[in-house]
Amino acid sequence: MTRMSIIEDAREVVRASALIELGARMQVLESELALPRDRLIRLYHEIKGESPPKGMLPSSADWYMTWQANIHASLFYNTYVFLKDSAGCSHLDALTKGFRLYREHCAHNGLEMQLDLTRAWTLVRFFNGAILQLTSCRRCAGKFVIHKYDAPEGKVCAICQPPSRAGKRAKAKPPRPMPVPLDSERSPAG
């Protein structure tokens, strides 16, 4: 083994560790890294203290079109694009740094995260596969996620035009009044 391959191997382990700590699934790790599956599983177990979860990855681009998911996906993807294109980060660095920034933004503003790392990674893959695209909002000019073949002209983002029921909770039932005891049930005042 050459010195360079040992260094690159160490870099891959560091990348894998960062992805695992952020919640990456095995499919993400295998797709993004050059480490063998058995080594990734051992590393996952060492970091998380458990075996990696099994199951299918999200597979529908429609998930990103619901209003809250669209806002969060747009926030993450715009951050990812900035880091990749303007800050000169590699794809993997932009993914991990962008997800950390998204997570910090949600925590700082008391928002429930809509994306996990796997959904963020899948979102990037949908853009790379020409399934999704960004378009500018007619009102605020912010860029948001739409299907690739939707007509982008005149679209309004979910922040400028949320659905009519957005943010509304089920009406709380008024508290039930305490029953007034009947005269026969009242204890004699003494």
Contact 139, 123 (CB under 8 A): no
Query: What pLDDT, on the 0 to 100 scale, is given for residue 143?
Result: 96
Which architecture, in CATH terms, is 61-147? Answer: Orthogonal Bundle (1.10)
pLDDT (tens digit per residue) in 29-71: 999 999 999 999 999 999 999 999 888 777 799 999 999 999 9
User: How does 131-162 read in b/e, with b if 16+ C-beta sit within 10 Å?
Assistant: ebeebebeeeeebbbbbeeeeeeebebbbeee
Phi/psi at 151 (nearest 5 deg)? -70, 115
Cα–Cα distance for residue pair 157/54, rounded to 1 Å: 35
Contact 105, 78 (CB under 8 A): no
Cα–Cα distance for residue pair 110/52, rounded to 1 Å: 29
pLDDT (tens digit per residue) in 125-177: 999 999 999 999 999 999 999 999 888 788 999 999 988 876 665 554 555 55
Dihedral sign for Cα 115, 116, 122, 127, please: positive
Query: What pLDDT, on the 0 to 100 scale, is given for residue 177?
Result: 54
When pLDDT is cut at 50, 70 and 90, the band that residue 1 belongs to is: very low
In whole angstroms, how far apart are CA 64 and each of 2, 94, 99, 106, 126?
44, 20, 16, 17, 10
Cα–Cα distance for residue pair 25/52, rounded to 1 Å: 7
Name the nearest CA neighbour of 68 among 171, 144, 152, 175. 144
* Half-sphere exposure at residue 128, Cβ-oriented, CA atoms within 13 angstroms: 9
Q: Inform me whether the pLDDT recorded for 190 exceeds 60.
A: no
